[in-house]
Structure formats: C-alpha cells, structure tokens
Structure 1
C-alpha cells in the first residue's frame, strides 16, 4: 500500500460526520481511529489473500473492486465514488481472506476506519451497533441489485442501471472497466453508448443477460 495516512482535516471530519449521521451515529468516538490518505492512481488498497481489516469512505476519486483471474483478466464487481464506502466487508464478516482486489482508479482522497474498530464500537455502543447493521443491510441490497442486473437485465439494461447509480462514471473510469463491470467487451459497450446517444434504448426491465 504505497500511501501515507494522515490526520483528517476539519472538512474531512465534517464529511465523515455527515456520512455516519445518515446511518444514525452522532457520537464521535470513532474519530480517534479515523485517518485520511491522499492516494495516487493505480494504488492497490487490498489484494487477494490479505486480511480484510481495511474499510473506508471515498471523499473524492474512484475506488474499484474487482476479481483478478490467473490469466490476468479482471471482473469488476463494484465502483465506489465520492460518498461511497469501500472495503472487503463481506470477507471480514465471513472471517476469510480478501477475495477481490481493491484499487484506486483515479487520484483519490479516502477516509479509513478499520473494520475491527467498527466491530468493537458496535459491541459497546447502541448507535454503532445500528450503524453496523445498516452497513450490512446496504451491502446485502447492493449484492441483490447486482444479482438482478446480471440475471434479469440485458446488456443495455445493465448499462442504464449503472448510469442511474453513477451518472458521471464514464468520465471517471476507463471504458474497459465499465465493460468489465457490465460483463461485455469494450466494443459492445461502444455500440451501447452509440445506441443511447441516438435515443434507441433497449427496455432495461426485460431480457436475459447477454454477454
């Protein structure tokens, strides 16, 4: 991990407080364990096999989570932009090593709060117990949405769903990563973008996934 942790600025603390307030937390006990980092593009935050103890919040930039195959192929599972959480939380909950790479795709500012600290806070604070529950709920909803996209939507439907979730994603990450997330080739993605620009949209609510 080629980045240096530092103390959060007042603006970054305000960003963190607003984020946890939305999850029902008003106490500031976690801030003693909070750090910030200015992370350069292409930095890997977590690698397959690591201990899943890193979790955080994107202040600016993009963090991508992807599965790395032995032949070097990448299958993107999630993008985290400003305001989004990132980390290998499902692996931490399951008590297993990290299964996906977590990488910064553009120069980013992130806030870091180790998942074990969240677990410790949840064990003694009703607020943080509810917060942990909300985090897990949001993870389950995200997984369910992703499963629906892959199994029930065609390629155009998946593309439109991604744009609805992250309207500026195409300005933030390379086309090949978006194609990887959608489960299609970059050439197919170019066709979808052209169709969308021309106003010929496929119905996102029908059709099996086409890869």
Structure 2
C-alpha cells in the first residue's frame, strides 16, 4: 500500500508511512460486503485487485448501482457526512478482491497539511461532482442508447469486468433492454 500511495503522492509524511506499513489486506469473496447500509465508513481503502460496486437498495429490495471501482482505486469517505453518519448504501465485491484498509481517522491526522494529499482530495471531489453532473444530465436528457454509448466511451474497462445486469442498473435500464441495445449496435 505504501508503494501505491507514494507513487500517487510522493514521499509520505512519516506518520502516514508508518500507518501504511501497518495496513492489513482484506480478502473479499465475490458478493461479500465490505460496508453495509447503516454501517459507519471508517477506512480509506486501496483496491489492490478486484472490482467493487457501491449500490443502494430501494424499499422493495431492488439494487441500484451508484458506482464501480476496479484495480488500483483509492476509495474513502470523502465528505464529513460519510465519515460521521451511517451510510445509506452498500459496498460489495463483484469478483474476488483484495483491499487494504487504513483507519480514516489515523490517515486524516497523518496527512493533515500534506499538500499532495489535499490536492488529490480536491481532484477527486471535482471529478466526483463532474461525474454526478454528467450522470444527472444523462438521465434527464439522453436515451438509454446514448447513455450506453457514453459508458462505452468513458468506462471501456467496465465493459470487460462488470456483469451486464450491474451495468444495466447503473444505466437505469433492465439487463434485457441493455442486451437489445447492444444487439442493435453490434449486429451479427
């Protein structure tokens, strides 16, 4: 974990480096939850390998995907509400995965005032806001086919790794509708 974070941020503050050396891997089986609705998100996770999905369950128990993360992703509770309140979503492995967890409180203390981490947080927040705005636009103004074409352009890695029904949920359509769109776009 220290190698990954050092590659992204440069030399880490001593306390952050010590914390990274103490991190333990978590092996997740396909379908295993890393965080459940109502739980408290208390870690920064580095997804060494695998695939994770963040999803909500509606009143009827139907899942709606919020986001996906693949190999090498850093995921953490980026807002105060995510750190302080129970979450309203699940985080689950879509395939066997290996995640390294750092206690968020320790990491936040160790990187307080560390400019490279603050810059990364700023870039991630900006990207998250941009993604949310683009997704809102897509749901309000694009057809399902246009949303799928945008997905192919923006996240080609997802197409190879994320199951069709999960992609369909993220697009806001059924897996049957997504299959039809794909067949129409790729005849034969």
Give the TM-score of the pair, scaled to structure 2.
0.83
- Alpha-carbon distance in 1 for matches of 2:80, 2:60: 23
Paired position in structure 1 for 2:41 = 52
Aligned pair 1:99/2:88, yes or no? yes
CA RMSD of aligned residues (A): 2.4
Paired position in structure 2 for 1:117 = 106
How far residue 91 of structure 1 moved from its aligned partner, in angstroms, is 6.0
- Change in 2 beyond 3 A, CA 1:194/1:28: farther
- Aligned to 1:78, the other structure's residue is in SS state strand
How many corresponding residue pairs? 184
Whether the 8 Å contact between 2:40 and 2:84 is mirrored in structure 1 is no
- Change in 2 beyond 3 A, CA 1:78/1:191: same
Bigger relative contact order (CA 8 A; separation at least 6) = 2
Whether the 8 Å contact between 1:57 and 1:84 is mirrored in structure 2 is yes
- Alpha-carbon distance in 2 for matches of 1:87, 1:125: 17
Paired position in structure 2 for 1:32 = 18
How far residue 157 of structure 1 moved from its aligned partner, in angstroms, is 1.8
How far residue 132 of structure 1 moved from its aligned partner, in angstroms, is 2.8
Paired position in structure 1 for 2:55 = 66
How far residue 126 of structure 1 moved from its aligned partner, in angstroms, is 3.2
- Change in 2 beyond 3 A, CA 1:81/1:73: same
- Change in 2 beyond 3 A, CA 1:168/1:196: farther
- Aligned pairs for 1:1-211 (under 5 A) are 12-18=1-7, 20-21=8-9, 25-29=10-14, 30-34=16-20, 35=23, 36-90=25-79, 92=81, 95-198=84-187
- Alpha-carbon distance in 1 for matches of 2:99, 2:19: 14
Whether the 8 Å contact between 2:49 and 2:98 is mirrored in structure 1 is yes
- Alpha-carbon distance in 2 for matches of 1:137, 1:151: 21
- Alpha-carbon distance in 2 for matches of 1:50, 1:78: 18
How far residue 97 of structure 1 moved from its aligned partner, in angstroms, is 1.6
Segments of structure 1 that go 5 or more residues without pairing to the other structure are: 1-11, 200-211
Segments of structure 2 that go 5 or more residues without pairing to the other structure are: none
Give the TM-score of the pair, scaled to structure 1.
0.75
